[in-house]
Amino acid sequence: MASTGLAGRRVLLGVTGGIAAYKAAELVRRLGDAGAQVRVAMTENAARFVTPLTFQALSGNPVRLSLWDEHAEAAMGHIELARWAEDILIAPASADFLARLAHGLADDLLTTLCLASAAPVHVAPAMNQQMWANAATQANLALLRSRGVGVFGPAAGSQACGEVGSGRLLEPNELVEALANTHRPQTLAGRRVLISAGPTYEDIDPVRFLGNRSSGRMGFAIAAAAVEAGADVTLVAGPVHLPTPAGAQRIDVRSAREMHAAVMRAAESADVYVAAAAVGDFRPQEIAAHKIKKRGDGGMTLELTQNPDILADLAALPRRPLLVGFAAETEHVEAHARAKLERKGLDLVAANQVGGGLGFEADDNCLTLIDHDGTTHLPTASKRELARQLVDIVAQRLERRETGAARR
């Protein structure tokens, strides 16, 4: 887990009123494991779900509940606590709390602390999926984001209220990881990173298409890691069901030709292009205007034509971004990837074995990075962790390319 960035860090954990407050107890422990010093402030409603004593025992510090507590104010006043914090994390953040924070209210201790502190504020929303989807909540979130407030999650899944959808608090270890990642070195600051992700769909007729099993998760993880590393990120996404990583600009496309057009346009200003998309190599020669009908017992033949190769077209440009290709192989991974590096004129190839629980639809992956200097193995890890490692290597290559060009 990338939690080393939290060692010795003073984290003020704000807990607001929602059933997910029970997860905040575990979060205190996990933050402590990552080396953070934790103090907890709760809203009055949060204390209806979990007692302050729980957080006091877990954090080893008194818990603050109210602005009007004379004893607590005498010990460590709220302004002192606001100054003490190096990070503020509100988890769970209720819809009501987000609304109050977005509008600059200071009507309780927690909102006052947020306003009175210079520390970065991060919120981990948790609420009923309908409340999350509500336009008011989304507008409040957009306002908070525009002011630099970090938003962690929420996740989708089954909820305490019995509904299913977006609005679940991230798990404590995910929150610790997300907070630690806000302290990652800004290796891509000022860089424009273009990423393609997901499959392409090639229409056969109005109801059928040719597609592939790419989930888009690797490309989306790279986009998130590049944002974390300070890049200006454009994500060209094929048809996938994934939320846009916060801070990335997303362009949705469907076919390989649409992806080609979007990438070529965005590449003009990009420093690096990471081609994580599984672009369909072929498309039907013609798209039938109406659903193709069965004709007797006979089969049918689909005439296919080749799609443009986005990477190869970019490689042929006189001024081209650093080009990172992906190679999903079922055998002879390294040899095939090295051949691809040469054939397509790439700067780096990230190769992975597909099948056997790895690759397209899996959470974990492992990558072999191949360039003209040699081979680097990134062992099996979550796609998020691999994406961070890849992003750091891309940052090094960009720097090296520039110093090389400056010397010439």
Min dist CB 219 to ligand C5P, Å, is: 9
Q: How many residues touch ligand C5P (CB under 6 A)?
A: 14
Q: Parallel, antiparallel, or unpaired for β 121-125 and 150-151?
A: parallel
Whole-number Å distance between alpha carbons of 216 and 197 = 5
DSSP letter at 14 equals E
Rank residues 100 and 283 by Cβ distance to ligand C5P and give the closer one. 283
Min dist CB 310 to ligand C5P, Å, is: 3
Whole-number Å distance between alpha carbons of 392 and 252 = 26
- Residues in a beta bridge with 350: 326, 369
The amino acid at residue 300 is M
Residue 327, interface with ligand C5P (CB under 6 A)? yes
Residue 341, interface with ligand C5P (CB under 6 A)? no
Residue 310, interface with ligand C5P (CB under 6 A)? yes
Whole-number Å distance between alpha carbons of 227 and 189 = 9
Indicate if 161 belongs to the active site. Answer: yes
Q: Is 72 helix (H, G, I), strand (E, B) or coil?
A: helix
Residue 199, interface with ligand C5P (CB under 6 A)? no
Residue 237, interface with ligand C5P (CB under 6 A)? no
Rank residues 26 and 258 by Cβ distance to ligand C5P and give the closer one. 258
Catalytic residue among 53, 57, 75, 161: 161
Stretch that binds ligand C5P, among 24-32, 114-122, 240-248, 305-313 (CB under 6 A): 305-313
Rank residues 154 and 325 by Cβ distance to ligand C5P and give the closer one. 325
The answer to whether the CB of 182 falls within 8 A of the CB of 228 is yes
Residue 72, interface with ligand C5P (CB under 6 A)? no
The amino acid at residue 35 is G
Min dist CB 353 to ligand C5P, Å, is: 13
The answer to whether the CB of 9 falls within 8 A of the CB of 182 is no
The answer to whether the CB of 352 falls within 8 A of the CB of 333 is yes
Tell which one of 11, 36, 193, 279 touches ligand C5P (CB under 6 A): 279
Rank residues 113 and 390 by Cβ distance to ligand C5P and give the closer one. 390
Residue 326, interface with ligand C5P (CB under 6 A)? yes
Rank residues 103 and 332 by Cβ distance to ligand C5P and give the closer one. 332
Stretch that binds ligand C5P, among 70-78, 247-255, 282-290, 302-310 (CB under 6 A): 302-310
| Exposed/middle/buried for residue 304 (C-beta within 10 Å: 0-12, 13-18, 19+) | middle
Whole-number Å distance between alpha carbons of 8 and 183 = 13
Stretch that binds ligand C5P, among 56-64, 111-119, 286-294, 323-331 (CB under 6 A): 323-331
Whole-number Å distance between alpha carbons of 256 and 242 = 19
Whole-number Å distance between alpha carbons of 144 and 147 = 5
Stretch that binds ligand C5P, among 141-149, 247-255, 307-315, 368-376 (CB under 6 A): 307-315
| Exposed/middle/buried for residue 213 (C-beta within 10 Å: 0-12, 13-18, 19+) | exposed
Min dist CB 323 to ligand C5P, Å, is: 9
Q: Which of residues 238-277 bind ligand C5P (CB under 6 A)?
A: 256, 275, 277
Rank residues 45 and 212 by Cβ distance to ligand C5P and give the closer one. 212
Tokens 């990837």 identify what position? 337
Min dist CB 309 to ligand C5P, Å, is: 4
Whole-number Å distance between alpha carbons of 273 and 223 = 11
Whole-number Å distance between alpha carbons of 267 and 263 = 6
Catalog residues that contact ligand C5P under the rule CB under 6 A: 196, 256, 275, 277, 279, 281, 307, 309-311, 325-327, 340
Please list the active-site residues: 161
